[in-house]
Structure 1
Amino acid sequence: MNKKLAIITGAGVVILAIAGGVTYDHYRTEHAVKQTATRYVTAFANQKSTQLAQQVDTKHLKGYTAKSLATRNTAAFTRMGVSKIKIANQTVKKQSGDTYSLRFTAAITTKIGQLKPQHYRTTIVKDGQQWRVRWSPKMILPSMSGKDVIQLRTVTATRGQIYDRHHQLLAKNGKRVQAGIIPGNLGSGAKRNQNLQKIATAWNVKLATLKTLVNQSWVTPKTLVPVKVVTKTPTLAGVDYQTVDSRTYPLGSAAAQLIGYVGQVTADDIKKDPQLTSADVIGKAGLEQTYNKRLSGTDGGVLYLQNGDETTTLLQTQARPGKDLTLTIDATQQKKAYQQLGSKAGSVVTMNPNNGQLLVLASSPSYDPNKFVNGISQTDYDQYANDKNLPFVSRFAQRYAPGSTFKMLTAAIALQNRTITSKTTKSINGLKWQKDASWGSYQVTRTVADSRENMTQALVNSDNIWFAQVALKMGASAYLKGLDPLFKTQSSLPLTMAKAQISNSGKLDRDTLLADTAYGQGQLLLSPIQQATMYSAIANHGIMQQPTLIKGVKAKRTRVFAAQDAAKVETALTHVVSDATGTAHGLVLSGHTIAAKTGTAELKQTQDTNGKTNGFLAVMDADKNTYLTVSLMENSDSGTLVTAMKPYVKTLY
């Protein structure tokens, strides 16, 4: 009995061992199959066609290699402008022997909208020691056959226009003639190359560029491939012309850095946004780029399969126009300000200090944005790119040492912390001064040797020594405390602009740096926009107004000075204009009270040497507070800037 039991028990152990081995093998097989399925579906969702092809059973492919499979998959998704694929309901089930079923559903977002859910079904089979997915064109779209070609006929959304505060157009829609190539009409071999060369010469386009365009994966022999906007339409083999929406900029170079321009999509653009095609136009610079999504709207059109003369519609949607953008800019004033800069490098920023609305953001020299829309010639582009005065730079957003215009803030801080009163008088001899021998050869200099000056006289004479002594008296800690609220709040403008800085470290840890900062030099860096923002605290009697550029958007207001202290500084600044010896006396306009401060920031490396200077001018309406403007002219002085800007200041009344 025990012997029988031992035999039976032993047999049971063998059976259990075999069953355990079978269960483990089954688990390992299912795990491997599911891994293959997941790799394939993940590659599909991420549009990684080469990785997808690595999971395919290539031995049983009909008419394809792994490479051509990947190429067609990429071409199809590119043609559709697929931006997102969301996978759901992925299942793997054993069918029989070494065959498993794979099913999943994909929600595919194309250039013109989302397709209805696509239900995919195939098998996974064993290929040697590996598991591979069976592939056919139905794995691109379930309704596709081997001969189907995906086509997309786009209805471009009308781009939103950009207006100024008075509804004058700054970026305007229009019509232009677009030239394109139909590859199937170019001929073949040497004839094809000859025709492409003729087109390249006629349109001033590189031959290599044309070849790249016509060889894109989505292009068919009958596809019209857009190349450029043209003004002439010569008859050329393989060429066709069509009227398309286009963009013009009425102010041209006067607002180029602000508004920017649109242009044809490049290969780099498509890499960043797969929904784009080479036929698209997008914002390339300025507000056109920043607000491209809002302005562009959503294209509509028809996505369909074509097999000979037969077509099957996959998706049809209506185009949704882009939204308009209305700025606070005054187009008339923008143009006048730009004209007053002439060809000199500089900028003009004008704002309404009551609400922060920016009326003018002009930068010179500039460029013609209309040339870029049309497809700028290499000669014109090189002229801009090689210009040492950098016409693409938005000088209203670039940082500079503000020079003596900054003295108005030093005065307000000193009044607020009671370092001085408006009647504080200092006796200073000579044109140079230093605190003591510890400064070595370094000295603070001034241009007017006035022996006794109060705050108003120091501003009228723009006396560096007077303000250096004031800063040293109050000390770095008190001065930084006064500066902090001015620098703490940053604007939220849709412009690229680095933060304003007091110094490289944020500290004023040397007496010489403290002294220099007090009169707008040292390591101070402010853009003209940031200067206007801070100086609004004087115009608004203590309230600093952040700027705004989009009409209807409100910006933050912060009290940084007591009203009476800021008012005293503003009154002193009116003498900079009204007094015959004032540095801005050239701005006198009969019947108007104007407050102003000039500044000449030195860029030289050492004292008592000749170097470049930048001229600055801050001007305020001291009667009704309707405007505050900050002007800059590089490689110039404030006297030249006063003369240049007076005609513009007149137009502000």
Structure 2
Amino acid sequence: MKKKLLIGAGVVLVAGASFYGYRTITDNKNRQKAVDNFVSDLKKQNFDAYSQLFSKKSLEDYTLTNKKVKERYETIFDSIGVTKVKVTNLKDEKYGKKNYRLTYNLELTTPEGVIKPEKYKAIYSKSSNGKYEFKWSSYLIFPGMEATDKVLLQNDVVERGAILDRNGKPLAENKEFKQIGMNPTQLGDDKQAALKEISEAIDMPVEKLEALLEPEWTKGDVFVPIKVLNDKEEEALKDKLPTGTSLITKKQRYYPLEQSAAHLIGYVGQPTAEDLDKNPDLDETTPVGRMGLEQTLDNELRGKNGLSLVITTAKGDVKKTVFKRKAVEGKTIKLTLDSDAQQKAFASLKNKPGAMVASEPKTGDLLVSTSSPSFDPNQFVSGIGDKAYKELSEDKNLPFLARYANRYAPGSTFKTITAAIGLDAGVIKPEEALPIDGLKWQKDNSWGGFWTTRVKEQPTVNLEQAVVYSDNIYFAQQALKMGEKTLMDGLAKFPFGKEMSLPIAMEPASIANEKKLKNDILLADTAYGQGQLMMTPLQQLEMYSVFMTDGNLISPKLVADAKNEKTDGVISAKSAHLVLNDLVGTVANEDGYAHNLYHDNFKLAAKTGTAEIKEKQDTVGTENSFLLFLDQEKSRFMGLVFSEDSRKNGAANEKAEELVNYLEQNYN
């Protein structure tokens, strides 16, 4: 009987030991899991899960919640841009009868460098529900912190750098404006009536005003910003502000040239959520470039705000600087642009679709780059009204299109390049006069219904006459004599298919849709600037620089300290001089197409051009007009004028006089 009991007791004892061992193993696994989660969530910056590891009682001692712990960590780590969290020297040990202590070193990597590893400690124990929970303490944020200490982020805000023209005049600057805002307590009993009054006064929908009043902080006697006013808006509101509104002073980006440089300079706006996600250096108050040079050169102009992360006592005394990022001032960028020339050029376009560009060919300095019609970038900085934006976006003349960077068939201005290639190849002989009969011509019957046409009829035509009177038939015949290979070999020396070095977005210039000119008709068309040729006004300006620099190509530059780029020997100096001298007759001859630009005391060379866009021959299409003008004597300036749909909007040479006069007076 005893033996049976002993066996039974033995069985009981063994079973009890197994259960105890299982419980111990399980308990150790749970403890290890808690430690692993603590380390893993910290390394991954998963602060939502990390904050749940702390006991509620320990958080209540600090008047905190799991959510507030999460927000604290996210605010600190995001503000200093922590990219990597490294946990080293991890040690887990018994701490008293019921507690355990986790010690470790924490190393934070930021874009500014690594914050030195510091030693941390975390106490944890098993709760009544069997789970292991950590005890919250302020030194888990930073060692040495006491319960009453605070973590402060101190911003050293820098100003955006200015954009200046060649003479130091501002093209983009920071200027003080008036900002209108609402005081919710002063909107009166009829809030909707007050919002409607504000809406009508500043062209902003009531719905947007209501949205501004939704956040919790807007309840009470506070200033709720609406928009920064431009000079016209401020003037309109100076006698009577809408109910419940007031004005404060705020510094904001300003563009003195307004419409005349809008496409080129661009404008700034507040960063979007996507911007903030992509760039840890940004915050909600830092304007970013939205268009033009403001966007292209944003990093340089914006600089970088300084930031300090400090631990202070309850009184505000600094105990420790944890992190410091030095402020980088926004760079002031000087351009080669001449703001006076830019404004004169824009005014000359008279808000009709077109563009003007001009440069100093020997240096490549871009003096003018303007497009019409345009818009006022200041409206976008201060917050353009829905009605005003709708008018711009629905305008059939496309005011947002930068036409100086948009590609078009260059028309007859391109004959200058064909002439130079033909001269260098020995095919075109300046003194040789080709017999041409009538106003239209075709190679033979294989051309079917296609004819090359010209405007002025004369029985024989030499190179100078062909250039001055822009004879399409002459250049078509010379191109066929050259052949596809000779013309394409010559064009290959020019920057077709290559990106320009300017900080302006545009597609590369192209000769044809395929690598070769597929037939004689396309060869002839290309020779006088049509066919499938596509070039922006800026690309034309670059290529035509060979006539001003002894056959070398000088690429335009816009930023004053940018490197000068030169391609030697694109055409011969002899051919460059010969074509340039022939272009003088376009201005000097009384029947020259640009004679309206003639001055007795100045020798200007020019080439007019038209490119007609139509579905088939013998129909009237849209005609674009171009004017190339060049300082023949001193090579101090050159320019290109483009007029879109010139039958309706006027020829390019009719728009050039004011700019040419300014350049002759100031760059001679």
TM more than 0.5: yes
Q: Which residue of 2 aligns with 1:19?
A: none
Cα deviation for residue 641 of structure 1 reads 1.8
| Local SS of the residue matching 2:563 | coil
Can you list the C-alpha shifts for 1:415-441, whole angstroms capped at 9, x where unaligned? Answer: 111122112322222222222333222
Go from structure 1 to structure 2 and tell me whether the alpha carbon gap of 1:649 and 1:55 turns closer, same or farther (over 3 Å shift): same
1:108-507 to structure 2, matched below 5 A, reads: 108=110, 121-122=121-122, 152=153, 154-179=155-180, 204-205=203-204, 227-230=226-229, 231=234, 242-300=248-306, 320-487=328-495, 490-507=499-516
Can you list the C-alpha shifts for 1:38-67, whole angstroms capped at 9, x where unaligned? Answer: 6424432xxxxxx44246645835478877
Q: Which residue of 1 aligns with 2:85?
A: 87
Cα deviation for residue 450 of structure 1 reads 2.1
1:598 maps to 2:625? no
- Report which stretch shifted further, 82-91 or 530-539: 82-91
Preserved CA contact (<8 Å) 1:149 1:305: yes
Question: Which residue identity is paired with 1:583?
Answer: Y
Preserved CA contact (<8 Å) 2:105 2:118: no
1:523 maps to 2:521? no
Q: Which residue of 2 aligns with 1:53?
A: 48
Q: Which residue of 2 aligns with 1:582?
A: 592
- Measure, in 2, the Cα distance between the counterparts of 1:144 and 1:207: 48
Go from structure 1 to structure 2 and tell me whether the alpha carbon gap of 1:440 and 1:132 turns closer, same or farther (over 3 Å shift): farther
Go from structure 1 to structure 2 and tell me whether the alpha carbon gap of 1:310 and 1:626 turns closer, same or farther (over 3 Å shift): closer
- Report which stretch shifted further, 414-423 or 615-624: 414-423
Cα deviation for residue 238 of structure 1 reads 9.5
Question: Which residue identity is paired with 1:60?
Answer: S
Q: Which residue of 2 aligns with 1:567?
A: 577
- Measure, in 2, the Cα distance between the counterparts of 1:115 and 1:181: 43
- Measure, in 2, the Cα distance between the counterparts of 1:118 and 1:205: 52
Question: Which residue identity is paired with 2:472?
Answer: N
Q: 1:533 aligns with which of 530, 542, 556?
A: 542
Q: 1:545 aligns with which of 548, 554, 566?
A: 554
Go from structure 1 to structure 2 and tell me whether the alpha carbon gap of 1:89 and 1:474 turns closer, same or farther (over 3 Å shift): same
- Measure, in 1, the Cα distance between the counterparts of 2:659 and 2:650: 15
Preserved CA contact (<8 Å) 1:36 1:133: no
Q: Which residue of 2 aligns with 1:9?
A: none
Cα deviation for residue 405 of structure 1 reads 0.4
Question: Which residue identity is paired with 1:610?
Answer: V
- Measure, in 2, the Cα distance between the counterparts of 1:101 and 1:304: 23
Structure with bigger gyration radius: 2
Question: Which residue identity is paired with 1:405?
Answer: T
Preserved CA contact (<8 Å) 1:98 1:126: no
Cα deviation for residue 162 of structure 1 reads 1.6
Q: Which residue of 2 aligns with 1:645?
A: 656
Q: Which residue of 1 aligns with 2:521?
A: 512
Question: Which residue identity is paired with 2:336?
Answer: T
- Measure, in 2, the Cα distance between the counterparts of 1:453 and 1:38: 87
Question: Which residue identity is paired with 1:94?
Answer: D
- Report which stretch shifted further, 65-74 or 511-520: 65-74
- Measure, in 2, the Cα distance between the counterparts of 1:580 and 1:379: 50
Question: Which residue identity is paired with 2:555?
Answer: Q
- Measure, in 2, the Cα distance between the counterparts of 1:268 and 1:475: 54
Cα deviation for residue 267 of structure 1 reads 3.2
Q: Which residue of 1 aligns with 2:636?
A: 626
Can you list the C-alpha shifts for 1:499-524, whole angstroms capped at 9, x where unaligned? Answer: 11111223322222221111111111
Preserved CA contact (<8 Å) 1:181 1:227: yes
Cα deviation for residue 235 of structure 1 reads 8.4
Go from structure 1 to structure 2 and tell me whether the alpha carbon gap of 1:439 and 1:153 turns closer, same or farther (over 3 Å shift): same
| Local SS of the residue matching 1:469 | helix
Go from structure 1 to structure 2 and tell me whether the alpha carbon gap of 1:326 and 1:70 turns closer, same or farther (over 3 Å shift): same
- Measure, in 1, the Cα distance between the counterparts of 2:570 and 2:599: 30
Preserved CA contact (<8 Å) 2:101 2:121: no
Q: Which residue of 2 aligns with 1:105?
A: 107
- Measure, in 1, the Cα distance between the counterparts of 2:366 and 2:552: 17
Q: Which residue of 2 aligns with 1:10?
A: none
Q: Which residue of 2 aligns with 1:611?
A: 621
Structure 1, gaps ≥5 residues long = 1-23, 45-50
Preserved CA contact (<8 Å) 2:203 2:387: no
Preserved CA contact (<8 Å) 1:398 1:497: yes
Question: Which residue identity is paired with 1:381?
Answer: Y
Preserved CA contact (<8 Å) 1:155 1:319: yes
Q: Which residue of 1 aligns with 2:10?
A: none
| Local SS of the residue matching 1:486 | coil
Q: Which residue of 2 aligns with 1:8?
A: none
Preserved CA contact (<8 Å) 1:186 1:192: no
| Local SS of the residue matching 2:431 | coil
Preserved CA contact (<8 Å) 2:555 2:565: yes
Go from structure 1 to structure 2 and tell me whether the alpha carbon gap of 1:562 and 1:218 turns closer, same or farther (over 3 Å shift): farther
| Local SS of the residue matching 1:277 | coil
Q: Percent identity?
A: 36
Preserved CA contact (<8 Å) 2:139 2:145: yes
- Measure, in 2, the Cα distance between the counterparts of 1:208 and 1:585: 58
Go from structure 1 to structure 2 and tell me whether the alpha carbon gap of 1:302 and 1:432 turns closer, same or farther (over 3 Å shift): same
Preserved CA contact (<8 Å) 1:101 1:124: no
- Report which stretch shifted further, 173-182 or 254-263: 173-182
Cα deviation for residue 32 of structure 1 reads 7.1
Q: Which residue of 2 aligns with 1:557?
A: 566
Question: Which residue identity is paired with 1:173?
Answer: N
Go from structure 1 to structure 2 and tell me whether the alpha carbon gap of 1:34 and 1:309 turns closer, same or farther (over 3 Å shift): closer
RMSD of the alignment, in Å? 4.2
- Measure, in 1, the Cα distance between the counterparts of 2:222 and 2:633: 65
| Local SS of the residue matching 2:423 | helix
TM-score (norm 2): 0.80
- Report which stretch shifted further, 471-480 or 355-364: 471-480
Preserved CA contact (<8 Å) 1:577 1:595: yes
- Measure, in 2, the Cα distance between the counterparts of 1:526 and 1:552: 26
- Report which stretch shifted further, 507-516 or 600-609: 507-516
- Report which stretch shifted further, 532-541 or 368-377: 368-377
Question: Which residue identity is paired with 1:359?
Answer: L
Preserved CA contact (<8 Å) 2:281 2:304: no
